[in-house]
Amino acid sequence: MKIKDAEIIALMQNPRTLDKGIRVLMDAYQSRLYWHIRRIIVDGDLAQDTLQETFIKAYQNFHQFKNDSQLYTWLYRIATNEALQQINKLKKMQKTDEDPEYYMQNLVADNTHSDAEEIQIFLQRAIQSLPEKQKLVFMMRYYDDLPYEEISKIVDMSVGTLKTNYHYAKQKIEEYIKENYER
């Protein structure tokens, strides 16, 4: 992956190969970034738009990328910010009397495969019941297996705080599933 990142960076930094660079970058990261965004936003169409916007921003602002950080960390940061902006817009558009967490949990049921396991649906609902920071930390650690140091750069939080947040998030999810899921 590191060699590939170096190639992408070299292509993106040269104006002549910039277009080729963005294609290689999209091929390499579209799946990871899409699922990261999708778990935050849940809605499929909105997740597509957000991924598209992430790549456009990466293309337009690549001159701001510093080689001292990982390429995927930088891309995750853009994707996370875009996703959170979309979530905030969604919350503003909602009815004031409706609980945003409840709305997101219902959205999970509407967007899952018909053959999806029930426990998996409960897990996603439990994730949507978490506060925003805990949700982000849990998803990046549990699904993407990102090191705390890299998550720290993405969400601007200390490693200690991240570890605490992950611990509480995991605890809350397990409690949610124990309470709500019946085999």
Partner 1 sequence: MKDFDLEKLERKNIYKVPENMFENIQDKVLSEIKADKKAPIFKLNWGYAAAASLALIFGATFMYQFNSDSSANGDSNGNYADNRTVPKKESQLAYETLASDLTSVENSNQRVERQMDIKPVVSQVVNNNSGNQNKKAVKTANEIHMNEYLESLPNSEIAELANNSSQDVYLDLYN
Structure-token pair, residue 87: 């979530």
In the window 125-144, what residues touch partner 1 (CB under 8 A)?
142-143
Structure-token pair, residue 82: 């875009």
Mark the segment that binds partner 1 (CB under 8 A) among 84-92, 94-102, 118-126, 150-158: 118-126
Residue closer to partner 1, measured from CB, 85 or 158: 85
Closest distance of CB 173 from partner 1, Å: 6
Q: Distance between CA atoms of 77 and 66, rounded to whole angstroms?
A: 13
Cβ atoms of 144 and 29 within 8 Å: the answer is: no
Q: Distance between CA atoms of 151 and 165, rounded to whole angstroms?
A: 12
In the window 11-70, what residues touch partner 1 (CB under 8 A)?
19, 22-23, 26, 30-31, 34-35, 38, 42, 44, 48, 51-52, 55-56, 59-60
Write the CB contacts of 142 (distance below 8 Å, at least 6 apart in sequence).
Answer: 170
Please name the amino acid found at residue 16: R
Structure-token pair, residue 90: 């969604």
Q: Which of 2, 64, 113, 156 binds partner 1 (CB under 8 A)?
A: 113
Q: Distance between CA atoms of 150 and 136, rounded to whole angstroms?
A: 13
Residue closer to partner 1, measured from CB, 11 or 123: 123
Residues that bind partner 1 (CB under 8 A): 19, 22-23, 26, 30-31, 34-35, 38, 42, 44, 48, 51-52, 55-56, 59-60, 111-113, 116-117, 119-121, 123-124, 142-143, 170, 173-174, 177-178, 181-183
